[in-house]
Amino acid sequence: MRPVSDTVLNIEPDALTQIVAIRDNEPGDAEFALFMEISGIKGADFAYELSFVPLDDAADEDIVERHGELAVVLREGDRTNLTGATLKIGAEGLAIDNPNSPSPLAGAAPAAGSLEGELADQVAQLLEQSINPGIAMHGGAARLVSVDEKNYVYVELTGGCQGCGLAAVTLKQGIERMIIETLPAVAGVVDVTDHSQGSDPYYQGSKK
């Protein structure tokens, strides 16, 4: 187990009191810790698993934090996605407020087989087979506009992605990364979307 100096998880006082009270019902004399991990993705958010485990069962690579009299065990692999998250009491009980969210393309299927044909055809296949199914859960899609002579790919984001404040993140961390990793011949990806026309644009066109 690995104690940390910088806290990954925050726990509000009323939530901490409730968690400790539940933990104290665990049988035996061993110290029990709250174990929390990201178990998957549910919609546009992470899904979590919380349980009480003997503190001695924590693996060497796990993160162990102390919140008052409560020990919390986290997976090292979840550090980035849990940093800044807060356990609190919500309207329906214990809730997790996490400022982090999965990559817009998390869970996107890998390209089926090889992508054949000219580069533009390959990009179009990749968008259809692997990328658009991943961002469809956010109500969006990406459309290939063109590929220039320097192998720059121009895409247009539509639906929920048009005007979305996270459009740049979707493009850079999701679409561009997957295209370039799958098709190394691509020099870069350029967003040609008119985001000022989206339902919730992250910038507005200049007013005249």
Question: CA-based Rg of the chain, rounded to a whole angstrom?
Answer: 22
Cβ atoms of residues 23 and 32 within 8 Å: yes
- Please work out, in degrees rounded to the nearest 5, the angle formed at the alpha carbon of residue 126 by the alpha carbons of 120 and 130: 165
Rounded-to-integer distance, Cα 73 and Cα 50, Å: 10
**Residue partners of 28: CB distance under 8 A and separation at least 6:** none
pLDDT tens digits in sequence order for the chain, 208 residues long: 555 557 899 999 999 999 999 999 888 889 999 999 998 877 667 888 899 999 999 999 999 999 999 999 999 999 999 999 999 998 878 889 999 887 655 555 444 444 445 899 999 999 888 888 877 665 677 888 888 888 888 888 776 443 444 444 445 457 788 888 899 999 888 877 764 444 443 333 333 3
Rounded-to-integer distance, Cα 163 and Cα 102, Å: 19
Burial of 88 (0-12, 13-18, 19+ CB in 10 A): middle
Provide the pLDDT for residue 103: 64
Rounded-to-integer distance, Cα 131 and Cα 155, Å: 12
The rounded Cα 156 to chain-centroid distance in angstroms is 22
Residue with tokens 């001695």: 56
pTM: 0.52
Provide the pLDDT for residue 194: 63
Domains of the chain: 2-97 (2.60.300.12), 119-197 (3.30.300.130)
Taking CA atoms, 177 is separated from 131, 180, 181, in Å, by 11, 5, 6
Provide the pLDDT for residue 96: 92
Residue with tokens 């979840």: 78
